Structure 1
Amino acid sequence: MRKNRLAFAIGEEPLGEIRGQDLKLCLDVERNLSTHSEKTSISRSVETRKEIEKHINEFLHMDLISKIGHNEIVELTTPFLITWNYGKSGLCGDFRALNNYTKSDSYSIPRIPHAQDNLVKSQVYNQNGLYGRFSS
């Protein structure tokens, strides 16, 4: 993404600066409501998967995404394609590096006995009554 950051929207250039890298994505929004056998739906899912893989390969070729292993750590918010052991893939974002830049969570986890103590004298029970003690 850093290499091709000019392709993405920024404040001054909402459509990016790279020209000629347009992808034609064909999305089928029509739904066929007629009855089909289970075999037909399975074959359609295979066709859909092949079409998705084709687009993913185009993104890989353009270096917009990268393919990594299931246990590799990537840079901050870099989109990547993760492949699981059973052959399926998914497009993900790794946000673990944000922990180095953000303040750690200062809110304690509400415990059931404390939440019940908050509700003892209440006539109406709601989320604010349960967690009001922990929001300050």
Structure 2
Amino acid sequence: MHQNKKEIQSFLWFAGYYRQHIEDFASITKPHYKLCDKYTVFEMTVDRVKAFESLRQGLTTASLLLMPDFKLPFKLYIDALGDGLGAALHQVQIINDKPVEGPICFISRQIKPA
């Protein structure tokens, strides 16, 4: 578990490299990004520990992304929550003689309050 803000920032940098493989990345990491604010006191709350565990789970079970086939149609799934936006680009491809719908990429972003 992280002991200070620098460790949190380092972990978020590492996890960010895999953000396209993790659905709802922005929502999952929101508690940790708030913790990196210089005006926030470092405290690992229950919510932050749960978010860390969720992100760690996402990193170890990240979706296998398909390579896009530009000859086939795409499906775009979008979602907007109070604190973030998310989208998943999918495509149905033939794998082992069966049609399989799989993700090509995930995108998410936090929404800052006005």
Band of TM-score, shorter chain: under 0.3
- Structure number with greater CO (CA < 8 Å, separation at least 6) is 2
TM-score, with structure 2 as normaliser: 0.25
Structure whose CA Rg is larger = 1
TM (norm. structure 1) is: 0.22
User: If each structure's strand is expressed as a fraction of its own residues, which one has the higher value?
Assistant: 2
